[in-house]
Amino acid sequence: MQKLNELYRGKAKTVFTTENPEYLILQFRDDTSAFDGERIEQLARKGMVNNKFNYFIMEKLAAAGIPTQMEKLLSDNECLVKKLAMIPVECVVRNLAAGSLVRRLGVEEGLELNPPTFELFLKNDALHDPMVNESHAIAFGWATAEQLAEMKRLTLAVNNVLKPLFAAGGMLLVDYKLEFGVFNGEIVLGDEFSPDGCRLWDIATRTKLDKDRFRQGLGGVVEAYEEVGKRLGMQFD
């Protein structure tokens, strides 16, 4: 399937229409952003690594019964996906405290959260993705109560698939963000799952293997993403 027109250029991906109105092409670029787009850098190979990483994870999730956007890996940097009517609310699950939870509640990084927490954030860079709750989402018409219930169910189901997958590769799935959309009336997982949108620590050393390497200026960002992928059995060349 060929790219037709550029529909949207996001911070990390460009979205193209195709001849089929039901499908889009996601092109993963090397751009890496943090702090709601305030800092942007190009990291060689990142687009390719995240595209292949995302495809691998989406296929694992689909095999476990999670409805996903994924149709096909098209090239190093592109995949074909279902065109979803995106819901502008990000779903975040945390198994261990990190990031904004640590800043907001003053708890120690690495504190185990059992059961895992579930949070919603409005996707809005200008407002710095504020935390919202279900009543906001319903009152402002971002999603219905039924859609939110399904998003929560699927987000927690993803944890049950991915926590053991990463554990088998010697990693802790600390937290992750998912975006959903609607396709033919059904809630479907969209966007991407990659180390750009989750936190992964080595189990033994707690070395950070995710985007925190970029946020915190630790270096070796793409190398860490590739290391994660290789530990799960992915091949990048």
- Which residue's structure tokens are 């620590």? 201
Sign of the dihedral defined by the CA atoms of residues 212, 200, 12, 234, in that order: positive
Of 215 and 231, the one with the shorter C-beta distance to ligand ADP is: 215
Q: Out of ligand UDP, ligand ADP, none, which partner does residue 191 contact, by CB within 5 to 8 A per kind?
A: ligand ADP
190 binds ligand ADP (CB under 6 A): yes
Q: How far apart are CA 70 and CA 92, in angstroms?
A: 20
Q: In this complex, which beta carbon is closest to ligand ADP, that of residue 193 or of residue 201?
A: 193
Strand residues in 123-230 grouped as ranges (E) = 131-132, 171-183, 186-190, 198-202
Q: Which amino acid is at 111?
A: L
The amino acid that residue 173 corresponds to is L
Shortest distance, position 164 Cβ to ligand UDP, whole Å: 18
Closer by beta carbon to ligand ADP, 111 or else 182: 182
Q: Cα–Cα distance between 88 and 104 in angstroms, integer?
A: 22
Residue 82's binding partner among ligand UDP, ligand ADP, none (Cβ under 5 to 8 angstroms by kind) is ligand ADP
Among 1, 3, 4, 15, contact with ligand ADP (rule: CB under 6 A): 15
Q: Which residues bind ligand ADP (CB under 6 A)?
A: 8, 10-13, 15, 24, 69, 81-84, 86, 179, 181, 190-191
